[in-house]
Amino acid sequence: MKKYSSIIHIFSLACTCLIFAGCETTQQSAATAPPPSNSARLLVYRVPNFGSDLSLLLSVDGRDVGSFTEGNNYNGYLSPGQHVIVARVDPNQGGTLPAKKTVNAKAGQTYSYTAGQSGGNMTLVKNQGQSVPLY
């Protein structure tokens, strides 16, 4: 019985290591991958006073692209054309309304916003120096 328990323990440990190794590889390859050709860059920063117990939920064209906690920001790419960016707060216990921006992305350009909260609403404020070349 003790030998069987030992085998289960080793197998569980091996599975856990494989899971963590797979997650690590995925994150590194996404971070170091070159930008897609003919794309625009989208940066969304989370204001420092957003709330330490709140997450910024970001979606592009109705698809969630991430949940960002304190100190984390979004850095991604858009295909050329019109896109809808939505910022929400989680948990949304106060009924905070989401912020929505439409971006007409052009290849080689960078679009940068800062997400925050003001008066019970989420905000997406365009940062200065927009439409700077990506490459």
- Same domain, yes or no: 87 and 24: no
Domain holding 18, by residue range, is 1-33
pLDDT recorded at residue 52: 80
- Same domain, yes or no: 43 and 79: yes
- Same domain, yes or no: 24 and 42: no
- Same domain, yes or no: 22 and 6: yes
pLDDT recorded at residue 118: 87
Q: Is the pTM of this model over 0.75?
A: no
- Same domain, yes or no: 57 and 21: no
**DSSP secondary structure of the chain:** -HHHHHHHHHHHHHHHHHHHHHHHHHHHHHHHSPPPTT-EEEEEEEPTTS-TT-EEEEEETTEEEEEE-TT--EEEEE-SEEEEEEEEEES-TT-PBPEEEEEEE-TTEEEEEEEEEETTEEEEEEPSS-SEE--
Per the structure, how many domains does the chain have?
2
- Same domain, yes or no: 60 and 118: yes
- Same domain, yes or no: 22 and 71: no
Tens digit of pLDDT per residue, the chain (135 long)?
455 566 665 655 555 544 554 444 333 344 556 777 889 999 999 988 887 888 899 999 999 999 998 888 999 999 999 999 999 999 887 888 999 999 999 999 999 999 998 888 999 999 986 544 443
